[in-house]
C-alpha cells in the first residue's frame, strides 16, 4: 500500500498543476478572442484585395511582366514556417515542423533549401537540425504588427526578385475553430493568379484606373503579397491560442481524473492504516488479558 505522505504530496502537486493549467486556459481564451477578431476582420480585406488585383490584371497582357510572378527553373527555395514562441499548445508547432520536413523531403528533393522561421520554436528546431536558417525575423510574435511582418515579406520579395530564391513557400496553421487548425503549405512566390468564384465573377467591376493599369498593378502586387503573409501570421496567432486553450482544457480535465484516483488511493491507504492500528490495539488488549 502506498505511503500516505507520498500520496498526499502527489495530490498537492496535481492540485497546483491543475490551478496553473486552468489559469493558462483562461489567459489563452482572452488572447484568442482578440486574435480571432483580428483575423475575421483581415480575411474579407485580403480576399477583396486579391479579387481587385485579379480583375485589374485580367484585361492586361497577363502577369508575365510582373516581377513577382516570373517563373524560372527551381533550384533554390525559401520556406517560411510560422510557429509560436512558446510550447504547451499540443501538436501546434509539431504539425508545422512535420509539414515543412515533408515538403523538403518530398516536394523539394535535391533543391537548395533555406529556412526563414517566424516564431522561436521553428528557429530553434531548424538551427538544431542543421538547415541554412535566416534568424532575422523569428521574434516577430513579441510585437505582432503589420510593420514587423512587412519587413519579413519585403525580404522574401526582394530576395526573389534578385534571384536568390526561385520559389518561396509559407507553412502555417489556418484557424478554423478553437479545436481545429488546418496546416497549409502555400506558394508565396512566384505569385499565382487565383480564379474567382462564380459569385465573384458576377460581381466583377469595370474599374476606371488612374494613372494607368500597369501602375495600379505595380502598386497592388507588393501590397497584396504583404497582406497575404500578414494574414498567414494572424491565422497562426489565432490558431496558437486556440490550440493552447484546448490543450490546457484537456490538461485540466486529466488533472481532475488523476486527483480522483489519488484521493481514492489516499482514502484506501488511510483506511488500511486505521484498520492495522485497531488490530494492533485489539491484539495488545488480548495479550494483556
Instruction: List residues with catalytic annotation.
Output: 89
Residues in CB range of 232: below 8 A, 6 or more apart: 82, 170, 172, 184, 186
Q: What are the residue ranges of helices labelled H in the chain?
A: 4-58, 92-102, 120-128, 146-161, 198-202, 213-288
SS (HEC) of 156-223? HHHHHHCCCCCEEEEEEEEEEECCEEEEEEEEEECCCCCCCCHHHHHCCCCCCCCCCHHHHHHHHHHH
201: region left, alpha or beta (phi > 0 left; psi from -120 to 50 alpha): alpha
Q: Within a 10 A sphere around the Cβ of 183, how many other Cβ atoms?
A: 17
Q: Which residues pair with 82 in a beta bridge?
A: 118
- End-to-end Cα spacing for the chain: 32
Instruction: Give me 202's grid cell.
Output: 458576377
Amino acid at each position: 500500500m502506498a505511503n500516505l505522505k507520498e500520496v498526499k504530496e502527489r495530490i498537492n502537486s496535481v492540485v497546483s498543476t491543475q490551478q496553473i493549467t486552468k489559469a493558462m486556459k483562461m489567459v489563452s481564451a482572452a488572447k484568442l478572442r482578440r486574435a480571432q477578431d483580428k483575423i475575421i476582420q483581415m480575411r474579407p480585406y485580403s480576399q477583396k484585395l486579391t479579387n481587385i488585383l485579379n480583375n485589374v490584371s485580367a484585361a492586361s497582357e497577363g502577369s508575365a511582366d510582373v516581377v513577382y510572378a516570373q517563373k524560372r527553373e527551381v533550384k533554390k527555395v525559401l520556406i517560411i514556417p510560422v510557429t509560436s514562441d512558446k510550447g504547451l499548445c499540443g501538436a501546434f508547432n509539431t504539425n508545422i515542423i512535420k509539414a515543412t520536413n515533408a515538403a523538403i523531403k518530398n516536394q523539394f528533393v535535391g533543391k537548395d533549401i533555406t529556412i526563414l522561421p517566424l516564431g522561436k520554436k521553428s528557429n530553434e528546431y531548424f538551427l538544431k537540425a542543421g538547415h541554412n536558417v535566416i534568424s532575422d525575423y523569428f521574434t516577430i510574435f513579441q510585437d505582432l504588427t503589420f510593420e514587423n511582418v512587412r519587413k519579413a515579406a519585403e525580404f522574401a520579395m526582394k530576395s526573389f526578385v534578385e534571384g536568390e530564391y526561385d520559389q518561396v513557400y509559407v507553412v502555417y496553421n489556418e484557424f478554423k475553430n478553437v479545436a481545429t487548425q488546418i496546416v497549409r503549405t502555400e506558394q508565396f512566390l512566384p505569385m499565382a493568379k487565383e480564379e474567382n468564384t462564380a459569385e465573384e465573377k458576377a460581381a466583377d467591376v469595370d474599374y476606371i484606373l488612374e494613372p494607368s493599369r500597369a501602375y495600379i498593378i505595380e502598386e497592388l502586387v507588393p501590397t497584396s503579397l504583404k497582406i497575404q503573409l500578414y494574414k498567414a501570421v494572424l491565422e497562426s496567432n489565432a490558431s496558437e491560442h486556440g490550440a493552447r486553450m484546448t490543450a490546457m482544457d484537456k490538461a485540466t480535465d486529466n488533472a481532475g481524473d488523476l486527483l480522483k484516483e489519488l484521493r481514492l488511493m489516499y482514502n484506501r491507504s488511510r483506511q488500511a492504516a486505521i484498520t492495522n492500528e485497531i488490530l494492533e490495539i485489539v491484539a495488545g488488549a488480548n495479550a494483556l488479558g
